[in-house]
Amino acid sequence: MKKLFSAQSVTVIGVSSSPTNLGRAIVFNLVKYQFNGVIYLVGNKGGSFLGFKIYKSVLDVPETTDLAVILVPARVVPSVLENCGKKGIPRVVVESAGFGELGEDRKALEDEILEILERYSMKLIGPNCIGIINRHSGLAVPFMPIEPEAPPGKVSIISQSGGVGASILNSLGAERMGYSLFASIGNKLHSNECDVLECYLDDPNTDIVFCYLEGIADGRRLMKQAMATSKPIILQKSNRTEVSHNIARSHSASLAVNDSVVTAACKQSGIIRVEDQTEAFTIIKGFALPKVKGNRLGIISRSGGHAVIAADAAGKYGFSLPEFPQEIIDEVEKHSRAGVIRFQNPLDLGDVFHLELYKLLAEEVLRNPSFDCLLFIHHYQGLFDAESSRDLVKALPGVVERTGKPLALCLFTPEKELAINRRNVNFPIFTDPYDAMKALAASRDFYTSQVYPFPEKRLDNIFPDKAKSILESCSGKKGYVDPALAAKVLEAYGISLVPWRYARNENEVLLAAEEIGFPVALKTASEKVVHKSDVGAVRLNIKNASELIEAYKNLCSFDKSVVVQKMVEEFAVEWIIGGRKDPDFGAVIVTGLGGIYVEALKDFSIRIAPVGPEEAFKMISETKGKKLLDGFRGHPRLNIDALADAISRLSWLLHDCSNIMEIDLNPVLIGKDEINVVDWRMSLCGNSHSAQNR
């Protein structure tokens, strides 16, 4: 993939002399971006364009090139690829549309392309994309003219949509921030976002990566890449609802994934997920500044009202506002005109008309070890102080460079002045304190939060081979399994179940209760009953044999098979630990308040499995139910460590046993000294393959 972006020779296929020909735009971009390599053009009618001869076939081109860019009708693509293979061209970008995005009937065409690629060991980006750009070499092959509005920068873009990717390029150009690499990946037939990301993370000119995706090809690989890099990855993942899913199917042949799983995966791996293009660009601007290494923020504002707004924003995003050193306050007071403003943090400079002092104050604050970052708000109308304000804006990037600390500049001025300042500096400018604070907070959270990679070592007393051996008896089975068999699988992973027995008649029920000891609980073992308490399929606190027989007779209406369990008598909170297989991320683990509350309150946390006890504890801490576990209104603190241990164990079970589709342990009773699983349910997917085993 790296060689694709470093191509030194390009063959553009699909060029003609027609003024409406899109292939001409590819050639135009290569010339406009001053590509420093060799260019050949191919089109079946021949001719010339911009002084380049148009050859009628790839096979007629005088030499083999590093890259071919193809923009011809979809039906012709296989034959063109065949010729590229014969010519020895190793890498291709297919910008043509008309493939899987139009429906399943185009699969044969895609399969033909894949066979050709494999036969000739070729690498492909696309189809249905606008191409790639390398700002440092001038390799620019989109079929739409794109102006290089700013010098090369440190942001690299992966976009499944060409239009969305181009809009990010426009935003970067408007702020004169620039970019390094760009890839529109379209249908991802042969190369996906992870393949391109691997190249970006190894690129010395890339510090920040932005991804726009409508579908995720290999979620687990994406997470591992994010966990292993120090470069921020900003993700806008659309196709989040059924409506947008239908549109995206026709647009880029993507499949929707569970959106909450994507959010959890981002949180777990350190990927910054954004809601929209505006937020994406705000966050990109924040990472264009030096790293925010702490929580201590200084605010300097020329407007008192904006200072108050900024203080509110600081509170929202969790920044602290230390007092400014007295020497800074003294310096400001020397230049105060009316002496009517109280100088504090935020520092209101509305009474100080000395713009050179503003710059000095900004530098003093950033040099002070008590501050990690600075929000600088400047307001002017462009009448009497336009030149001095422009000079101030020009000077602030130098302050950042000298101090090595981030300064978020928030500028309030007429649109004309804003445009002038953006042209004058290659430096991010914000127009809202909340946006500036959001950008600083994203940088702070990324650089100060710890990400735990997927654990490599299981906990003690976990026996994967034993669990898999038990599940072999269900080979090929799809759907729910017998609870007795499920219990054996859980016990192989050291998951603590309440003492229980399986019974199929009155005698077995009485014997089970005698072995366990009264009081007991009785519940149906029917696979058809999911929510037992909702339909009266559970009897609790049975104290003697006569109550037991009566309860059993009532439950026989569901099934003669029942489960007899020991009643847990100590105070306990009901919890849920569960999980399932996601088609894009593999095993997913879920935990939160359980029992009858799980669906009503939806108080839960999600991770991609497996997780270690540290990550499991973070999951618990994200729930509101954590307060109940900590000891609430006189109740004892419950065994959170045992709960985290059980979450980790179940996550490993889901990860290891690929034929398990879903597990629910609900409720799990969290007590002061121990935890007990009192109900469990396991279903199989009918095969031994899953996303994590690809």
pLDDT at 451 over 80: yes
* Over residues 570-585, mean pLDDT: 88
CA distance 336 to 442: 35
Give the per-residue pLDDT at 484: 82
Taking only the tens place, the pLDDT of each residue in 534-557 is 788 899 999 999 999 999 999 998
Taking only the tens place, the pLDDT of each residue in 193-211 is 999 999 999 999 999 999 9
Closest by Cα among 167, 136, 104 to 2: 136
| Average pLDDT, rounded, for the chain | 90
**30 pLDDT band (50/70/90 cuts)?**
very high
**331 pLDDT band (50/70/90 cuts)?**
confident
Structure-block tokens of residue 650: 């179940």
* Over residues 88-104, mean pLDDT: 93
Greater model confidence, 647 or 569: 647
Task: Answer yes or no: do 534 and 577 share one domain.
Answer: no
Please state, as a whole number, how many other Cβ atoms lie within 10 Å of the Cβ of residue 57.
14
Question: What CATH number did the domain enclosing 535 receive?
Answer: 3.30.1490.20
Give the per-residue pLDDT at 459: 94
Question: Using only C-alpha atoms, what is the Rg of the chain?
Answer: 31
Closest by Cα among 219, 21, 115 to 124: 115
Q: Which of 123, 146, 169 is the last residue of a domain?
A: 146
Give the per-residue pLDDT at 247: 41
pLDDT at 400 over 60: yes
Question: What CATH number did the domain enclosing 617 receive?
Answer: 3.30.470.20
- Give a yes or no: residue 467 inside a domain: no
Task: Answer yes or no: do 591 and 680 share one domain.
Answer: yes
CA distance 82 to 73: 15
Task: Answer yes or no: do 606 and 670 share one domain.
Answer: yes
**688 pLDDT band (50/70/90 cuts)?**
low
CA distance 72 to 45: 13
Task: Answer yes or no: do 3 and 139 share one domain.
Answer: yes
What separation in angstroms does the CA of 293 have from each of 136, 370, 459? 30, 12, 34
Task: Answer yes or no: do 385 and 348 share one domain.
Answer: yes
Give the per-residue pLDDT at 208: 97
* Over residues 352-380, mean pLDDT: 93
Please state, as a whole number, how many other Cβ atoms lie within 10 Å of the Cβ of residue 114.
12
* Over residues 671-686, mean pLDDT: 88
Q: Can you say how many angstroms the Cα of residue 310 is from the centroid of all Cα atoms in its chain?
A: 28
pLDDT at 606 over 90: yes
Q: Which of 548, 567, 586 is the last residue of a domain?
A: 567
- Give a yes or no: residue 250 inside a domain: no
Instruction: Give 211: exposed, middle or buried? Use CB within 10 Å, 0-12, 13-18, 19+.
Output: buried
- Give a yes or no: residue 562 inside a domain: yes
Q: How many domains does the chain have?
A: 4
CA distance 168 to 180: 13
- Give a yes or no: residue 281 inside a domain: no
What beta strand segments (E) does 495-634 contain?
Answer: 500-503, 520-524, 538-542, 562-566, 573-582, 586-593, 604-608
Task: Answer yes or no: do 39 and 133 share one domain.
Answer: yes
Give the per-residue pLDDT at 229: 97
Give the per-residue pLDDT at 339: 58
* Over residues 72-96, mean pLDDT: 97
Q: Which helix (H) or strand (E) holds 124?
A: strand 123-125
Task: Answer yes or no: do 547 and 677 share one domain.
Answer: no
User: For residue 304, which phi and psi values (nearest 5 degrees)?
Assistant: -65, -40
Q: In this structure, are strands 573-582 and 586-593 parallel, antiparallel, or unpaired?
A: antiparallel
Task: Answer yes or no: do 426 and 348 share one domain.
Answer: yes
Q: Which of 103, 130, 146 is the last residue of a domain?
A: 146
Give the per-residue pLDDT at 694: 39
Query: Within 13 Å of residue 515, how many CA atoms lie on the same side as its CB?
Result: 13
- Give a yes or no: residue 476 inside a domain: no
Please state, as a whole number, how many other Cβ atoms lie within 10 Å of the Cβ of residue 341.
18
- Give a yes or no: residue 491 inside a domain: no
Taking only the tens place, the pLDDT of each residue in 276-309 is 999 999 999 999 999 999 999 999 999 889 999 9
SS3 call for 437: helix
CA distance 78 to 636: 70
Taking only the tens place, the pLDDT of each residue in 381-391 is 988 889 999 99
Task: Answer yes or no: do 545 and 637 share one domain.
Answer: no
Give the per-residue pLDDT at 343: 76
pLDDT at 360 over 90: yes
Peptide bond into 19 cis (omega under 30): no
Task: Answer yes or no: do 503 and 631 share one domain.
Answer: no
Beta bridge partners of 665: 577, 680
- Give a yes or no: residue 479 inside a domain: no
* Over residues 14-26, mean pLDDT: 93
Closest by Cα among 328, 233, 298 to 437: 298
CA distance 242 to 286: 33
Q: Which domain holds residue 375?
A: 297-448
CA distance 362 to 359: 5
Q: Can you say how many angstroms the Cα of residue 663 is from the centroid of all Cα atoms in its chain?
A: 25
pLDDT at 251 over 60: no
CA distance 605 to 610: 14
Question: What CATH number did the domain enclosing 365 receive?
Answer: 3.40.50.261
Task: Answer yes or no: do 305 and 405 share one domain.
Answer: yes
Greater model confidence, 370 or 239: 370
- DSSP secondary structure string for all residues of 444-484: HHHHHS---PPPSSPPSS--HHHHHHHHGGGTT-EEE--HH
Give the per-residue pLDDT at 690: 42
User: Residues with Cβ < 8 Å from 692, sequence gap 6 or more?
Assistant: 220, 585, 586, 587, 655, 658
Structure-block tokens of residue 459: 């906990």
User: For residue 667, which phi and psi values (nearest 5 degrees)?
Assistant: -90, 155
DSSP character at residue 170: H
Q: How long is the chain?
A: 694
Query: Within 13 Å of residue 604, how many CA atoms lie on the same side as its CB?
Result: 25
- Give a yes or no: residue 211 inside a domain: no
**333 pLDDT band (50/70/90 cuts)?**
confident
Peptide bond into 499 cis (omega under 30): no
Structure-block tokens of residue 163: 């239009």
Instruction: Give 676: exposed, middle or buried? Use CB within 10 Å, 0-12, 13-18, 19+.
Output: buried
Widest CA span in the chain: 99
Give the per-residue pLDDT at 599: 67
Question: What CATH number did the domain enclosing 106 receive?
Answer: 3.40.50.720
SS3 call for 2: helix
Greater model confidence, 15 or 584: 15
Task: Answer yes or no: do 10 and 106 share one domain.
Answer: yes
Q: What is the model's pTM?
A: 0.90
